[in-house]
Structure 1
Amino acid sequence: MEHVMERFQRLPLGNICDANGKRGSMDPAIRPVDPSLHMVGRAYTVRCHPGDNLAIHKAITEAPDGSVLVIDAGGYTGGGHIGEIMCFACMQRGIRGLVIDGTCRDADDIQALGFPVFSRGFNPGGTVKETVGQTEIPIVCGGVPVRPGDLVVGNRDGVVVVAKENIEAVLEGAEAIARKEVRVLEELKQGRTTAEIYQFSKIL
């Protein structure tokens, strides 16, 4: 599986989304703390009560090495569910990244850690630790259904979720699209237009 992750890491996110039937792209409001970082891993899902991050602490102790935490916080933006300490704890556990439909805090410190975090925004306010919440269940994050074990890929463009049963097919399709785009760029260098290459001239 590690080789598969490396192949996904090299691909443009747009190619992955196209090969995924143009599905699985999260709400564009969920953005990376550090746009230079890429993230690929299997989803370890979390549903926490908005404004309560106890379930995330639970998930950090449970998630297997190589996971990406995908957290449904109900889109809550009244406080930061994730900060520097929790991100460092994730790194110590081998977690590859984190996506939260909610806000985080300590953005500068998270960026300095080099840990990929995708969130709906930032809020320095705190959260409570009162409700255990649920882990390893189907959730919705950024408008996209996510199940445990689905593939999660993120970069500057956003986050795409690939259903676990489609991983191999989407990977092969995305690589084929990437190869085609290399050929298209070569044809453009030779003076052809996109309308000619994609045969749009008949309808333009």
Structure 2
Amino acid sequence: MSAEPVPLPESATRALQGVTTATVTTVLLKKGLRNVWLRGALPLAPGQPRLVGRAFTLRFVPAREDLATPASWASPISTRAAIEAMPPGCIAVVGAMGVTDAGIFGDILCARMKRRGVAGLVTDGVVRDLAGVLGTGLPVWCQGTAAPPSVAGLTFVGWQEPVGCGGVAVFPNDVIVVDQDGAVLIPAALLDEVVAASVEQERLEEWIMGEVAAGAELPGLYPPNEENKARYEAWVRSREVPSPARGRAPG
């Protein structure tokens, strides 16, 4: 049974847009989750923005000649039908079994996704019609390109069900963060605590970078020892307390 899409809270979206995938993987590692980076899902073009969205999953299995045919594109269970079910703001996560000689989507499908407000496409497979796909403006993370269509090597079987993508188990409505380092999954049930820890980690690393720029040595700084933790906490407090000039009531 396919899962209904769930909107991502705007507060979580705003917070994670300021967090790198490197930070997210570190936070998840501290929580015991090591297998969260989708292997092979790399930016198709340089300069793609960092995106955050709920996973809308699509699943391919190996091609079977009686099912993987051009006629299947008109089936009720098709990539075309799946795209029409995608909500605005989602990130399409396509489990393509790492197949790199059959393009799962081309320019027309990507153009329709862009038109529907889909934030981006992430797959461990490849796309086709490269110039056209780039022309749609849809950000894509994948393993590259191939001219043959999907049915040359894959059979599409459904959407909004658990998939394997890049060796990672992705469930519908998990949260995906993508940037120039690739794609990372945040389990839906851990969203709130991962957001809070990731924002804090980014703030800590901002302070550490300032210390490094000032000539500080790394031992005891990264990670911080007790002395540097106290200095960091004082720095945080100084940023949170308004200055007397800003806090003074108008006279």
1:35/1:155 contact within 8 Å kept: no
Structure whose alpha-carbon radius of gyration is higher: 2
Question: 1:81 aligns to what SS in structure 2?
Answer: coil
Distance 1:189 1:13 in 2: 23
Distance 1:132 1:186 in 2: 50
**What residue is the counterpart of 1:154 in the other structure?**
178
**What residue is the counterpart of 1:67 in the other structure?**
90
After superposition, residues 15-30 of structure 1 pair within 5 angstroms as 15-21=23-29, 23=34, 24-27=36-39, 29-30=40-41
Q: Deviations over 1:5-42 (max 9, x none)?
A: 12211211111111122631111x22111231222110
Q: Which deviates further from its counterpart, 30-39 or 124-133?
A: 124-133
Determine if the alignment matches structure 1 residue 168 to structure 2 residue 192.
yes
Distance 2:146 2:96 in 1: 14
Determine if the alignment matches structure 1 residue 182 to structure 2 residue 206.
yes
The structure with the greater share of residues assigned to strand is: 1
Q: Deviations over 1:131-185 (max 9, x none)?
A: 5511111111001110000001111101000000111111111111100011111
Distance 2:130 2:51 in 1: 17
Paired residue for 2:134, among 86, 107, 111?
111
Where structure 2 has 5 or more consecutive residues not aligned to the other structure, the ranges are 1-8, 226-251
Structure 2 CA distance for partners of 1:3 and 1:114, relative to 1, 3 Å: farther
**What residue is the counterpart of 1:56 in the other structure?**
79
- TM (norm. structure 1) is 0.88
Moved over 4 A (4+): 50-54, 129-132
Distance 2:109 2:149 in 1: 13
Distance 1:48 1:96 in 2: 21
CA RMSD, aligned part only? 2.3
Structure 2 CA distance for partners of 1:131 and 1:50, relative to 1, 3 Å: closer
Paired residue for 1:40, among 38, 52, 67?
52
Distance 1:4 1:67 in 2: 14
Determine if the alignment matches structure 1 residue 93 to structure 2 residue 105.
no
**Length, aligned pairs only:** 200
**What residue is the counterpart of 2:107 in the other structure?**
84
- TM (norm. structure 2) is 0.73
Distance 2:197 2:56 in 1: 25
**What residue is the counterpart of 2:42 in the other structure?**
31
Q: Which deviates further from its counterpart, 77-86 or 49-58?
A: 49-58
Distance 1:6 1:200 in 2: 27
2:102/2:151 contact within 8 Å kept: no
Structure 2 CA distance for partners of 1:159 and 1:89, relative to 1, 3 Å: same
**What residue is the counterpart of 2:10 in the other structure?**
2
Percent of aligned pairs sharing the same letter: 28
